Amino acid sequence: MRLALYDFRMGFCDLIVSMEQTGLTPRPVIGAIVVVSGLAVSFLLWLLYVRHAPADFAGRWMFLPALNALLNGLCATALCVGLYFIKHHNREAHRTSMLLAFAFSSVFLISYIVNHALHGDTIFPGHGAVRTLYLSILASHVILSIVALPMVLTTFFFSLTGRFAMHRRIARLTFPIWLYVSITGVVVFVFLKEYAY
């Protein structure tokens, strides 16, 4: 496990060196990040609200929502650990924690897409105040997840290219949004587990 993390970190170090050597400028990269994020969000909206899930998978692969919640929880944990390390000036441990958070979020996204491609959207059956609370949390989760995607990628770009002043500036905004999205992902699962699954 330790060797795998070392290889993972060394691969990113090589990526950093190559980015610094090519002299990537922020403007076109951030533009590309915004375009890719917009395409990803458009695809997810199509998947959720236009495409209909096949009936063949009803009742199968039902572990995916729990896996998604676990990945969100692991991401939130890695984010908090990363914050602890950077507050204590341990940059290597901070970088490893943030790469883990990014990896958990990336695997979550894949699992989320597979789940919704197979099962479609889950309708919350609760009524009254609990429905209002659920929909408020879900709305804030969805809106901030759309905002978080380009912010996370931009924050990583600044870090990987050694632009640490810009990285710190945007990370102050990215961190609480990313953490909120990760935590509310777990909360949404808990609501659905209690009322829908």
Number of domains, the chain: 1
Over residues 130-169, the pLDDT tens digits come to 999 999 999 999 999 999 999 999 999 999 999 999 999 9
Give just the sign of the alpha carbon dihedral 102, 144, 41, 74. Answer: positive
Q: For residue 33, give both structure tokens.
A: 């990040």
Say which CATH number the domain at 121 has.
1.20.120
CA distance 49 to 45: 6
Q: What is the pTM of this model?
A: 0.81
Indicate the burial class of 65 (C-beta count within 10 angstroms; 0-12, 13-18, 19 or more): buried
Structural domain range at position 147? 2-195
Residue 7: the pLDDT is 47
pLDDT of 22 over the 70 cut:
no
* 160, 15 Cβ separation under 8 angstroms: yes
